[in-house]
Structure 1
Amino acid sequence: MAVKVLPVNGSSRKEGCTGAGLREVARALQKEGIETEGFFIGNKPLPDCTACHRCRELGRCVFDDIVNEFVEKAKVADGFVFGSPVYFAHPSGRLLAFMDRAFYSGGGAFAFKPVAAVLSARRAGTTASFDVRNKYFTICSMPVVSSTYWNHVYGAQPEEVAEDKEGCVTMTNIGKNMAWLLKCLELGKMNGLPHPDNEKVPTNFIR
């Protein structure tokens, strides 16, 4: 069975610094025999989630755009890498709107699938942006893939990212670690080991 990872580019520039970091991860995955399919969310404005709850009735987001296209791909994918530039110590607003809607309307497509967050920055704000994305993953029971340093690369231009040797090695090690985890999960499936049957109980805090 083929195993596929979707590297998601949340930058407005497809071939920018974020794309350079994601390509390093993809190269490492491919060397380990893992198929990758890049997904660029584009640079057009995306509607934010309006919490209308229509996705519960429709099985998809009420705004029929690239988010629904991605969720359909996510259903058959085995892992994900979400990349973003840093804006004001925060990920791209476009990517967050995209993830809000994708995870709210299609959360089941992500459960128990390995995932990593990748950041690119000129200088700072990466660790705060890293934390924001990881919260999506942890509430969806996704195994979060680590590396050998924080998952970021530095550079104002893509060619500068290539000069960030530690960052590029960090990206490579994300790919290696994710490939290893994916292979472990496949072996578990082959040997009849199912994922946990988790329960979820909502709590509303009121005065």
Structure 2
Amino acid sequence: MKVLMLNGSPHERGCTNRALLEVERALNEEGIETEILHVGSQSVHGCIACQKCSETGRCVFNYDMVNQVLDKMETAAGLVVGSPVHYASPNGTVLSFLDRLFYAGRNFAFKPGAAVVSARRAGTTASLDVLNKYFTIAQMPVVSSSYWNMVHGFTPQEVEQDLEGLHTMRTLGKNMAWLLKCLEVGKAAGISFPSKEEIPRTNFIR
């Protein structure tokens, strides 16, 4: 089993990466393979609602890593998204990335997802709320921890001092590993995922 991890920070080795590394270590100790991809420093186009992905399952913009991540999600068992807090919200780059990723994605359902945020001071819970909405609209079980999934610090060295935040990251990794193993046991026992029902698309204005 493999968990894909996205670093949405513009700084590849910054505070968000330090948090993801702690989650990764816990997952690896539980026998779960991981891969961290740095997407936060790329030039990422926002979704233009062209609807082509509904035909192909891939985005028409092919110059960044969105389609590469879609390919990797074909076999990944879970997803962790990390972002710094910018104006009480996730990094704008990672939001554009996730808009296109989840709009084009076809097989995210029932794969556990988790969000991780880092901040110097505040805006963390608002940012977590934004990121978690991607998982909930895609039928992905949201993995929780012993506290909200956040670390505090202006540098990775300061994050090292956030002992509770790092404990939260390790617990998150262990919880995700546990859920992934439970899903495997259920699958082996013949427990199938819920059947899909076609969504009745209704508009509020008629």
Using the size of structure 2 for normalisation, the TM-score is: 0.97
State the secondary structure of the residue aligned to 1:162: helix
- Mean Cα displacement is larger for which, 42-51 or 181-190? 42-51
Contact 1:60 1:68 in 2 (8 A): yes
Counterpart residue type for residue 177 of structure 2: A
1:109 aligns with 2:117: no
Q: 2:141 aligns with which of 140, 143, 158?
A: 143
How far apart are the structure 2 equivalents of 1:164 and 1:143?
27
- Alpha-carbon displacement from aligned partner over 1:13-61 (angstroms, at most 9, x marks no partner): 1100000000000000000010001111141221000001011222210
Contact 1:10 1:40 in 2 (8 A): yes
Counterpart residue type for residue 93 of structure 2: R
How far apart are the structure 2 equivalents of 1:187 and 1:169?
27
- Mean Cα displacement is larger for which, 196-205 or 153-162? 196-205
Counterpart residue type for residue 124 of structure 2: T
- Alpha-carbon displacement from aligned partner over 1:92-142 (angstroms, at most 9, x marks no partner): 000000000000011x23111001100000000000000001111111110
How far apart are the structure 1 equivalents of 2:56 and 2:143?
32
Q: 2:188 aligns with which of 148, 172, 190?
A: 190
Shift of 1:198: 3.0
How far apart are the structure 1 equivalents of 2:3 and 2:163?
24
Shift of 1:201: 2.1
Using the size of structure 1 for normalisation, the TM-score is: 0.96
Q: Which segments of 5 or more consecutive residues in structure 1 lack a partner in the other structure? A: none
Give the equivalent residue in structure 1 for 2:121.
123
Contact 2:82 2:115 in 1 (8 A): yes
Counterpart residue type for residue 183 of structure 1: K
How far apart are the structure 1 equivalents of 2:142 and 2:40?
25
- The 5-angstrom pairing of residues 162-181 of structure 1 reads 162-181=160-179
How far apart are the structure 1 equivalents of 2:40 and 2:99?
16
1:47 aligns with 2:54: no
- The 5-angstrom pairing of residues 80-119 of structure 1 reads 80-106=79-105, 108-119=106-117
How far apart are the structure 2 equivalents of 1:91 and 1:188?
34
Q: Which segments of 5 or more consecutive residues in structure 2 lack a partner in the other structure? A: none
How far apart are the structure 2 equivalents of 1:144 and 1:130?
11
Counterpart residue type for residue 96 of structure 2: A
Shift of 1:197: 1.3
1:75 aligns with 2:74: yes
- Mean Cα displacement is larger for which, 38-47 or 23-32? 38-47
Give the equivalent residue in structure 2 for 1:159.
157
How far apart are the structure 1 equivalents of 2:200 and 2:85?
34
- Alpha-carbon displacement from aligned partner over 1:44-92 (angstroms, at most 9, x marks no partner): 2210000010112222100013100010001110001100000000000
Aligned residues: 204
Give the equivalent residue in structure 1 for 2:3.
5
How far apart are the structure 1 equivalents of 2:42 and 2:177?
32
Give the equivalent residue in structure 2 for 1:59.
57
